[in-house]
């Protein structure tokens, strides 16, 4: 008995989610012990390019497929929000190189852990999507919202500490942008959760 071939849209979305996990794992691992900034930046760019390729696959398939497993707009919006997560990780990594930051602080490490956890929640949710287990996805969207709230709180703490302890204005600007970019990436993770919630409402 032949196994039914997985739908190209679900398969590609799962591949994107898996790539987000790989990238977030790599990001978290290396921000806690950053030894080679150039290598770190280049590797993160490879993950981002891989996700761009999956986005291109989705667009190509949408243009030639008449019947899709979900609303076309939902597939495109979910693809875009997931791509934004990896764009955020890569953009942050590139700042380490541009600003010559070789010693990430405890706040960057904490943000990296929040993003790593968020990536795993996205992965679990997207894999459930292809199994049509829509209501079960809610557990992970709730968790993603909670992690985004943790990101908001961490931003408040680290910005307050930054202005209280750093006197070099250049260093302050660099760190502040890094923190804000990391928090924006947690927002992107929540955007994925919100899009999944919309899909649940329209299809259950």
DSSP 101: -
Quickly name the fold that domain 6-201 has: Methane Monooxygenase Hydroxylase; Chain G, domain 1 (1.20.58)
In this prediction, what percent of the chain has a pLDDT beyond 90?
85
DSSP 67: S
- Residue among 139, 119, 116, 131 at smallest CA distance from 197: 139
Lowest mean pLDDT among 1-5, 45-49, 93-97: 1-5
What is the C-alpha to C-alpha distance for residues 17 and 123, in angstroms, rounded to an integer?
A: 5
Contact 85, 185 (CB under 8 A): yes
Q: Is the pLDDT of residue 3 over 60?
A: no
Q: CB-side exposure of 114: number of CA atoms within 13 Å?
A: 29
Average pLDDT for 131-156: 95
What is the C-alpha to C-alpha distance for residues 109 and 107, in angstroms, rounded to an integer?
A: 5
Contact 92, 187 (CB under 8 A): no
Residue 65 pLDDT grade (very low, low, confident, very high; cuts 50, 70, 90): confident
DSSP 85: H
* Domain assignments of the chain as residue spans, ordered by start: 6-201
């Amino acid at each position: 008995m032949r196994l039914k071939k997985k739908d190209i849209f679900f398969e590609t979305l799962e591949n994107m989610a898996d790539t987000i996990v790989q990238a977030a794992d790599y990001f978290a691992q290396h921000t806690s012990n950053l030894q080679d900034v150039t290598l770190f930046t280049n590797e993160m760019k490879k993950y981002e390019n891989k996700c761009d390729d999956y986005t291109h696959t989705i667009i190509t398939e949408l243009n030639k497929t008449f019947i899709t497993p979900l609303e076309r707009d939902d597939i495109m919006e979910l693809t875009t929000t997931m791509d934004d997560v990896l764009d955020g990780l890569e953009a942050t990594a590139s700042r380490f190189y541009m600003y010559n930051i070789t010693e990430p602080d405890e706040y960057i490490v904490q943000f990296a852990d929040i993003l790593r956890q968020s990536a795993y929640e996205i992965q679990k949710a997207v894999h459930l999507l292809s199994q049509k287990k829509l209501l079960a996805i809610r557990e992970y969207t709730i968790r993603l919202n909670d992690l985004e709230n943790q990101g908001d709180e961490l931003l408040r703490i680290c910005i307050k500490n930054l202005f209280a302890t750093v006197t070099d204005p250049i260093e302050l600007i660099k760190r502040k942008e890094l923190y804000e970019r990391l928090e924006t990436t947690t927002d992107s993770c929540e955007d994925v959760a919100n899009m999944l919630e919309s899909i649940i409402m329209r299809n259950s």
